[in-house]
Amino acid sequence: MRMRNKPWALDFLSEHKSFIDIDESHQLDITSRFKKQQPIHLEIGTGMGRFITTLAKRHPEINFVGVELDKNIMIRVVEKAIEMELDNLQLVLLDANHLRDYFNADEVSHIYLNFSDPWPKNRHEKRRLTHKNFLKQYKEILKVDGMLQFKTDNRGLFEFSLEHLNNFGMKFHEINLNVHEMESPENIRTEYEDKFSSRGNLIYQLKASF
């Protein structure tokens, strides 16, 4: 996702520190940022945040954390969180390569990856968010019965993910090759999902545990 650089982005984000951590000051302490102590669900690569803000509104009994590395994009998520008055959502400006330093072991119940960047070139394989280097981190921060949920329109990335999760010994709970056929009311269409499905692309989803 490309978004024009906003020189004021960090100033804006730092004015809203009740919603967002911009300098990892709550590393290993994100749980204490929530009013209620309840399960934590994490989305990695929120983009503009429609998915996580909608989910947080629907599920006040869950605490949500959204991780995104681009400060310009994160502005849009913060704006939504303010408008929707969400007190069960915290945002973190972070590269997912550092997840394990940020979250405690067994702290998270569910991880969502939505339309992650496909990085189609082989030499960029390690940047894919379902590469085994990321899976190792997810395994550590997820609770024993925690779930990884991944949705994409990218057939190549979906096949790569099925193969790599399987090689990692993960257990599949759902493999859906057409999410929009008999779409569940639980499905929240992300900004990218709308864009790609309007072009006629199929939407794939899997759910798996370690």
Binding site for ligand SAM (CB under 6 A): 1, 44-47, 67-70, 73, 95-97, 114-117, 190-193
Alpha-carbon gap, residue 197 to 180, rounded angstroms: 9
* Of residues 87 and 117, the one with the C-beta less far from ligand SAM: 117
Task: Name the active-site residue from 11, 23, 117, 194.
Answer: 117
Minimum gap (Å) between residue 36 Cβ and ligand SAM = 26
Specify whether the CB–CB gap between 181 and 205 falls below 8 A: no
User: Is residue 21 part of an annotated ligand binding site?
Assistant: no
**DSSP H or E run through 57:** helix 50-58
Which is it for strands 204-209 and 108-114: parallel, antiparallel or unpaired?
unpaired
- Find the shortest distance in angstroms from Cβ 99 to ligand SAM: 8
- Amino acid identity, residue 72? N
Kindly tell me which of 67 and 147 has the beta carbon lying closer to ligand SAM. Answer: 67
Sheet holding 63-68, edge to edge: 20-21, 89-93, 63-68, 40-44, 108-114, 142-152, 204-209, 171-176
Tell me if 146 sits within 8 A of 170, measured CB to CB: no
Clarify whether 21 is annotated catalytic.
no
Q: What is the DSSP string of 2-21?
A: -----TTHHHHHHTTTTTEE
**Do you know the residue count of the chain?**
210
Whole-number minimum distance, CB 49 to ligand SAM, in Å? 8
Residue among 155 and 171 whose Cβ is closer to ligand SAM:
155
Residue 193 in marked binding region: yes
Residue closer to ligand SAM by CB (options 38, 97) is 97
Please report how close the Cβ of residue 173 comes to ligand SAM at its closest, in angstroms: 21
Give the annotated binding-site residues.
43, 68, 95, 117, 121, 153, 190-193
Give the annotated binding-site residues for substrate.
121, 153, 190-193
Catalytic residues: 117
Give the annotated binding-site residues for S-adenosyl-L-methionine.
43, 68, 95, 117
